[in-house]
Amino acid sequence: MKLLNKRAIVTGGTRGIGKAIVKELVNNGCNVVFTYFSSDESAHSLEKELSNDSVKVFGFKADASSFAAADETVKFTIEKLGGVDILVNNAGITKDTLMLRMSENDFDLVINSNLKSVFNYTKAILKPMIAQRFGKIVNISSVVGIVGNPGQANYVASKAGVIGLTKSNAKELASRNINVNAVAPGFIETDMTDKMNDQQKEAILSNVPIKRLGKPEDVAKTVLFLCSNDSDYITGQVLTVDGGMVM
Ligand code: NAP
């Protein structure tokens, strides 16, 4: 129970890594508002599955790329949970193709969903967090944001941007007792990576010293650490969760 009675917002909580993060936080006593883009049914069933007498869990439909929607999420959370202690910026998408074929629209869509979303939620949450002199912000980046990847220029730019935002915000907010860190997952088995064929997966595995693909729970446990008091002296860092792929 590392987060007993804490209050969190997790963006993109209906599937994959975000869902595992919501479960990990709730299992540690945290009340959670999770957002999603369109999966109404999954949101309702997750809400039902996790809510109990001691922990409140709410799904909230909100496009992470919209600042107005982020602001509404924060207002909803304060109304339902009484405040916000933890923000996990997890929502993200891919629109992969080579730079030569990449449309302006697909570039903008990925940057807005993956990078501007982090600005939106961090900005929307700052005043209440600064006022309470406590906060933990965890941004989900990616190892490709560190090393680059062909066919993912939009995604890589967004994830590298998340690392820059994390470091600047960490420096700005440390004096207010707000820690800001990033997690950079490697290849994690979710809907996002399910599109790859076995040959592509084998090629990735050959570069993973811990010879297996990652699970959403591997990332969720690292996020829990960065949301808990165990990481109070850590800020502005990027923790890779990738089986040793990037070192
Ligand atoms: P996923 O399985 O595709 O799930 C994405 C989640 O984000 C869903 O809950 C989705 O909601 C939500 N979402 C997408 N766009 C949104 C928007 N505009 N507004 C609100 N919610 C939105 O993805 P994942 O693999 O778990 O990835 C989660 C995060 O980890 C992403 O930031 C991703 O870039 C990062 N990551 C993943 C991997 C990997 O190998 N899987 C590796 C490195 C980094 P709906 O269900 O409503 O669509």
Q: Is 212 helix (H, G, I), strand (E, B) or coil?
A: coil
Instruction: Assign 3-state DSSP to the chain and report helix, strand, coil percentages, each to 5.
Output: 50, 15, 35
What CA–CA distance (Å, rounded) separates 18 from 93?
12
Residue with tokens 């600042």: 67
| Per-residue pLDDT at 91 | 98
Please compute Rg for the chain using Cα positions.
Answer: 17
Q: 189 in ligand 1 pocket by Cβ < 6 Å?
A: no
pLDDT at 237 over 90: yes
Cα of 205 from ligand 1 centre, angstroms: 21
Best CA proximity match to 224, nearest among 133, 138, 135, 134: 138
* Residue nearest atom 28 in ligand 1 by C-alpha distance: 17
Contact status, residue 180 vs residue 168, Cβ threshold 8 Å: no
Q: 245 in ligand 1 pocket by Cβ < 6 Å?
A: no
Q: 204 in ligand 1 pocket by Cβ < 6 Å?
A: no
- Give the model confidence (pLDDT) of 3-45 as tens digits: 999 999 999 999 999 999 999 999 999 999 999 999 999 999 9
| Per-residue pLDDT at 195 | 86
Q: Give me the catalytic one of 36, 121, 155, 233.
A: 155
| Per-residue pLDDT at 47 | 98
| Per-residue pLDDT at 247 | 95
| Per-residue pLDDT at 62 | 99
Q: 187 in ligand 1 pocket by Cβ < 6 Å?
A: yes
Closest approach atom of ligand 1 to CA 141: 44
Average pLDDT over residues 55-76: 98
Residue with tokens 């709410």: 58
By residue count, the chain amounts to 247
Closest approach atom of ligand 1 to CA 89: 32
| Per-residue pLDDT at 3 | 98
| Per-residue pLDDT at 179 | 99
Cα of 12 from ligand 1 centre, angstroms: 6
Percent of the chain, pLDDT > 90?
Answer: 98
Cα of 88 from ligand 1 centre, angstroms: 12
- Confidence grade of residue 76 (pLDDT, cut at 50, 70, 90): very high
pLDDT at 196 over 90: no
- Give the model confidence (pLDDT) of 113-158 as tens digits: 999 999 999 999 999 999 999 999 999 999 999 999 999 999 999 9
- Confidence grade of residue 105 (pLDDT, cut at 50, 70, 90): very high
